[in-house]
Structure formats: structure tokens, C-alpha cells
Amino acid sequence: MRNLLDNAIRYAPGGSAVTVAVSQDEGASVVVIDEGPGFSEEFVEHAFDSFTRSDSHRNRDTGGTGLGLAIAKGFVTALDGEIWAESGPGGKVGFRLPQG
């Protein structure tokens, strides 16, 4: 959750909103949405691969290692859940965990 929020805040334009939507339907779902540029179709296909960054100009000095979403996927899938990203505009990443 922390990684998803950090990413959304980092890419949301100043003064814009980051929304966290929580629902319960066949498990608990959380979706984090920002008003930033969003993800390309190409990025969405590889968003949860290790060392993948949505902005190819970023590096460790300018914004992370590209491991955050891969780690998030590991946690979610270890709990038999699913995680996804959707292409823009606006960044949208969500996960669903099964009931009890």
C-alpha cells in the first residue's frame, strides 16, 4: 500500500488529488488513482517486472530502483490476491485480496 501511495503522490501534479478507493466484493479491493500522466500500454504489460520504471529517464538517483511494484506483487500474490495497473490518463493501480 505504501509503495502505491508513494508512486501516486510522486507522479500527481502539484495541487491535484490522489484517491484511494476501498471496496468489499468477493474480498477486499484497494485502488489508488492519481491525476498524473498515467501509464502507457507498454508499461502496463511489464509494470510488475523487476527493475521496470514507467519513466525510462528515471534512475536510482532520480526516483527508485524499479522494484516497488514487483515487491507489491509478491506480497499480494503470496496472499492469493491479484494486482493490476491500468493505462492512463491518470495513474491507476489496484489490488484485491480474497476473503478470509
In the chain, what are the domain boundaries?
A: 2-97
Distances (CA, A) of 78 to 5, 30, 83, 88, 100: 20, 17, 11, 27, 14
What is the pLDDT, as a whole number, of residue 100?
75
What is the pLDDT, as a whole number, of residue 85?
96
CB-based contacts of 24: which residues, under 8 Å, 6+ apart?
none
Q: What is the pLDDT of residues 66-78, one digit of tens each?
A: 788 999 999 999 9
Q: What is the pLDDT of residues 13-68, one digit of tens each?
A: 999 999 999 999 889 999 999 998 888 899 899 999 988 766 544 444 445 677 88
The candidate with the shortest Cα–Cα distance to 65, out of 11, 7, 18, 26, is 7
Residue 94 CB neighbours (<10 A): 19
pTM of the model: 0.82
The CATH code for residues 2-97 is 3.30.565.10
